[in-house]
Amino acid sequence: MPDEVRRTGKMRFRKLERTEHSVTRPLWEKIFTDDTEKFLDYYYTVKTKDNEIYAAENEQGELCSMLQLNPYRMKMGQSEFLSHYIIAVATRPEYRKQGLMRELLNRSMGDMYQCGEAFTFLMPAAEVIYRPFDFRFIYNQRQGWVDGFAGGKGQFEMRKAVSSDCGQIAVFARKQLAGYSVYAIRDAAYYECMLKEQTSENGGVMLILDQGITVGVFAYAYEGTYEIREPLIEAGYEDAFREAVYHLTQEEGSAVKCYGYEGDLEYLVLKPNIMVRVLHPEQVLVQMRVREALDVRFNIIDFIIKENNVCVHLQAEKGEYIKVSMAETNSKADAISIAALTSLMFGYLEVDEILLEEGVSISEAGAAQLRKMEPLSKIFLNEVV
């Protein structure tokens, strides 16, 4: 039997051919009922051109469960690499609680591991679904409200972006994100896709210009009320952003829900938003610096990706990037789970919190070494599809 097809019981698991991707739309429509026909027309025209879809089919060849992987070029530390965003994990109600999702997740993660991807990520419907697969939150999204005001100075130009603006927007975005540890790379193609996505949601991408120079950009959608996603605003132009909100709504003092804005928001909430499953921990570790000289060995425990069950030796002088060497597990070394290591590497929890939450038993000397590592904690991940 070909490697791409696996049967478990009466189910057939496989990765679909690109020409078959459209057959998954009825299942999407059945499960994700809030999504509009206009949005799905966009998704199945644009996103499924280059994504991967894993499927579980019954003996009659009917689609029972699916999982989709959307590709993103990621920046992490000093490196760029391909990663996949997991979306549309769906199972027909009559086939739930039969392990279909588990099989699709394990298979897709195994394939991503074999392709050398550092991690995969998702926005969970519920955290409890993905914790058993060693996904952990790494990013809290800032959510709140921003008030628009007319301003009256008239010095800024506010307009909807068009396709020819995407290169300019990408240059601006890369500048704004330069200080971040982890984010999806925003090139012209990224913003071309964003324009189409937001248009499918009755919105667009708004540009803020000062004498023809881009000083702000944000995505917006309209479903009875406006919503704004990940505004990138040049320092010192925060009031211009509020003017742009007024320009969008044409209502003085209008309050608009805003997601992923690093500036001031009313009724601010930090919502756990993105979970990561590390596939190649060594690729993440080498992007980290240390506060003090580091020399430590510990065994990684990974019950899903068996290849990760190794002893890693981490070394670095103060301020340097970590050097990683791997060997067979060492009975004298401390052990840490891949999930706990994920929380550590991305700085979502402090070392003591990780040890408590994950039930990890590490010597005091080992914990002291781990505290020397500078996590990749400045993260900007607001991808939706």
Res. 153: pLDDT tops 70:
no
How far CA 223 is from CA of 110, 198, 206, 249, in Å, comes to 38, 11, 17, 13
Residue 2: the pLDDT is 39
Burial class of residue 19, CB neighbours in 10 A (0-12, 13-18, 19+) = exposed
Residue 7: the pLDDT is 60
Res. 4: pLDDT tops 80:
no
Of the candidates 241, 214, 239, 222, the residue with the CA atom closest to the CA atom of residue 230? 241
Of the candidates 32, 121, 23, 114, the residue with the CA atom closest to the CA atom of residue 71? 121
Q: Which residues contact 238 (CB under 8 A, 6 or more apart)?
A: 263, 264
Res. 1: pLDDT tops 50:
no
Residue 120: DSSP 8-state? E
> What residues are paired with 354 via a beta bridge?
none
Res. 344: pLDDT tops 90:
yes
- For residue range 162-190, what is the model confidence (pLDDT) as tens digits? 999 999 999 999 999 999 999 999 999 99
Res. 211: pLDDT tops 60:
yes
Mean pLDDT along residues 107-126: 98
Helix, strand, or coil (residue 25): helix
Tracing tokens 């193609």 back to the chain, one arrives at 189
Domains defined for the chain, CATH in brackets? 5-122 (3.40.630.30), 142-271 (3.40.630.30), 280-376 (3.30.1050.10)
What rounded mean pLDDT belongs to the chain? 95
The share of the chain scoring above pLDDT 70, in percent, equals: 97
Residue 359: the pLDDT is 81
Mean pLDDT along residues 68-90: 98
- For residue range 264-310, what is the model confidence (pLDDT) as tens digits? 999 999 999 999 999 999 999 999 999 999 999 999 999 999 999 99
Residue 99: the pLDDT is 97
Where is average pLDDT lowest: 191-200, 215-224, 347-356? 347-356
Res. 253: pLDDT tops 80:
no
Res. 3: pLDDT tops 50:
no
Tokens of 139: 């990013």
Query: Mutual orientation of helices 351-358 and 338-345 as an angle, nearest 10°?
Result: 160
- For residue range 345-357, what is the model confidence (pLDDT) as tens digits? 999 999 999 988 8
Residue 5: the pLDDT is 62
Residue 60: DSSP 8-state? T
Q: How far apart are CA 171 and CA 191, in angstroms?
A: 11
Tokens of 114: 């074999």
Residue 269: the pLDDT is 98
Q: How far apart are CA 278 and CA 187, in angstroms?
A: 25
Q: How far apart are CA 194 and CA 236, in angstroms?
A: 26
Mean pLDDT along residues 320-334: 95
Residue 361: the pLDDT is 81
